């Protein structure tokens, strides 16, 4: 399956602490999409499903995994295999998904997925959706609409999107207000992740200030991080969290 990136621990992509896997590939092209680099179906990012599954299971201190993108359902058969792989080995791990499709589209077969073998598009259907859905505890569904962007609806980048609970594991009480999260991997890559990060294009000047603050925070902290790092730097992450400043709103 095509993987954009993977994060071993996050607190802004669903209830509790979660692994996050961003799948590579999406043709929905929402204006203002948080990450256009996740759109191409780039074969160089192909990983075996069991390898991704084992990596997820190796992550410590998490209660679940969230699949985001890219568009996870556009790799429908591999997504189903990966969910099954995880649930068979760790039934207690919850699974969530961020999708640009609405539930209505997925139920009605108004979606498509790309064959992992031939790159051909295949029409999605209710059966495949139901096979994936049986493994899911929650989902955030719907396109990102730049004109409806919001910062006060948990997990949703725009007001049209909906959080749907697909099992009895979670309820609205488990959702936290939107917040930001900065992860620094000590192999010198910096990542900013979170629901608000998806909306950065529509308030660029504010975002520039916000980014500068984060960069300053990063610069001030990185020396300390490096002193604290153990010999396996790539395995060490540090994270800062906080609620968004009030001015960073639409």
Question: Cβ of residue 67: shortest distance to ligand SF4, in angstroms?
Answer: 12
Q: Which of 22, 24, 20 is nearest to 10 (CA)?
A: 20
- The sheet that has 179-185: what strands, in order across it? 189-193, 179-185, 237-243
By CB under 6 A, tell whether 100 contacts ligand SF4. Answer: yes
Q: Which of 155, 241, 236, 154 is nearest to 192 (CA)?
A: 241
Cα–Cα distance, 72 to 109 (Å, whole number): 15
Question: Using the rule CB under 6 A, which residue among 1, 21, 23, 33 binds ligand SF4?
Answer: 33
Cα angle 193-74-195, degrees, rounded to a multiple of 5: 20
Cα angle 44-47-48, degrees, rounded to a multiple of 5: 145
By CB under 6 A, tell whether 38 contacts ligand SF4. Answer: yes
Question: Using the rule CB under 6 A, which residue among 28, 59, 122, 229 binds ligand SF4?
Answer: 28
By CB under 6 A, tell whether 30 contacts ligand SF4. Answer: yes
Question: What part of residues 134-173 is at the interface with ligand SF4 (CB under 6 A)?
Answer: 143-144
Contacting range for ligand SF4; rule: CB under 6 A; set: 31-39, 173-181, 185-193, 211-219: 31-39
Question: What part of residues 45-64 is at the interface with ligand SF4 (CB under 6 A)?
Answer: none
Contacting range for ligand SF4; rule: CB under 6 A; set: 69-77, 123-131, 146-154, 178-186: 69-77
Question: Cβ of residue 39: shortest distance to ligand SF4, in angstroms?
Answer: 6
**Count of C-beta atoms within a 10 Å radius of residue 62:** 19
3-state class (DSSP) for residue 137: coil
Question: Cβ of residue 220: shortest distance to ligand SF4, in angstroms?
Answer: 32
> What ranges make up the beta strands (E) of 29-123?
64-68, 94-99, 112-114, 121-123
Q: Which of 12, 137, 21 is nearest to 69 (CA)?
A: 21
By CB under 6 A, tell whether 70 contacts ligand SF4. Answer: yes
Nearer to ligand SF4, 24 or 94 (CB): 24
- Note whether 3 and 21 are within 8 A (CB): yes
Question: Using the rule CB under 6 A, which residue among 20, 26, 49, 140 binds ligand SF4?
Answer: 26
Interface with ligand SF4 (CB under 6 A): 26, 28-30, 33-34, 38, 69-71, 100, 143-144
């Amino acid at each position: 399956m095509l993987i954009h990136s993977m994060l071993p621990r996050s607190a802004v992509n669903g209830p509790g602490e979660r692994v996050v896997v961003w799948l590579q590939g999406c043709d929905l092209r929402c204006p203002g999409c948080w990450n256009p680099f996740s759109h191409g179906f780039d074969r160089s990012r192909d990983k075996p499903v069991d390898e991704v599954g084992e990596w997820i299971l190796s992550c410590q201190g998490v209660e679940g995994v969230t699949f985001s993108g890219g568009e996870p359902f556009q790799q429908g058969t591999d997504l189903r295999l990966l969910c099954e792989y995880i649930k068979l080995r760790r039934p207690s791990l919850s699974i969530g998904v961020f999708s640009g499709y609405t539930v209505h589209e997925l139920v009605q077969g108004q979606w498509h997925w790309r064959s992992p073998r031939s790159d051909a598009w295949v029409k999605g259907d209710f059966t495949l959706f139901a096979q994936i859905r049986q493994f899911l505890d929650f989902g955030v569904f719907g396109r990102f609409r730049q004109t409806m962007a919001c910062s006060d609806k948990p997990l949703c980048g725009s007001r049209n999107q909906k959080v749907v609970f697909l099992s009895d594991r979670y309820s609205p009480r488990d959702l936290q207000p939107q917040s930001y999260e900065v992860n620094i991997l000590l192999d010198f890559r910096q990542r900013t992740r979170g629901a608000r990060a998806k909306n950065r294009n529509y308030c660029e000047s504010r975002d520039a200030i916000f980014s500068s603050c984060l960069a300053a925070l990063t610069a001030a902290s990185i020396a300390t991080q490096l002193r604290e790092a153990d010999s396996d730097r790539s395995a060490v992450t540090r994270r800062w969290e906080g609620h968004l400043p009030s001015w960073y709103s639409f």
